[in-house]
């Protein structure tokens, strides 16, 4: 049976979707953009600052479900510009030091709220 997860420590959904859905010990986290959950606004700054906020949001959702970054098996990173790939990777590597998850990374034309990055996450227990 699927379970909808939600936490006030991550941004509320800005559309008709859930922050995360858990089914059969697998957590599917919707794409997270660098929105500060306290203000509901996009954090200011470069790709490094925005990627850090995305990971804070992912951490909050993982924690709500009883998961951690070591449980992450797949991510999809969407970037507004592939020129930000290296800087994003520097932040990303601090969260996934060993047994890194499978990953896809794409440049897209535009992201919600003018974000520079969005990361979708799948974790398993």
* All structural domains of the chain with their residue ranges: 3-124
Distant-in-sequence, close-in-space partners of 17: CB < 8 Å, separation ≥ 6: 30
Q: What is the pLDDT of residues 45-85, one digit of tens each?
A: 999 999 999 999 999 999 999 999 999 999 999 999 999 99
Q: Which fold has domain 3-124?
A: 60s Ribosomal Protein L30; Chain: A; (3.30.1330)
CB 119 within 8 A of CB 31: yes
Q: What is the mean pLDDT of residues 7-22?
A: 94
Higher pLDDT, 1 or 91: 91
Which pTM was predicted? Answer: 0.96
Residue 13: pLDDT band (50, 70, 90) is confident
């Amino acid at each position: 049976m699927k379970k909808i997860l939600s936490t006030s420590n991550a941004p509320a959904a800005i559309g008709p979707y859930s922050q995360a859905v858990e089914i059969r010990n697998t957590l599917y986290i919707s794409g997270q953009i660098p929105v500060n959950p306290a203000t509901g606004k996009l954090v200011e700054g470069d790709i490094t600052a925005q990627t850090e906020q995305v990971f804070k949001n992912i951490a909050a959702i993982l924690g709500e479900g009883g998961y951690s970054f070591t449980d992450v098996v797949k991510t999809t990173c969407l970037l507004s510009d592939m020129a930000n790939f290296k800087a994003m990777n520097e932040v990303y590597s601090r969260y996934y030091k060993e047994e890194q998850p499978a990953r896809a990374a794409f440049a897209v034309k535009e992201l919600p709220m003018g974000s520079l990055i969005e990361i979708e996450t799948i974790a398993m227990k």
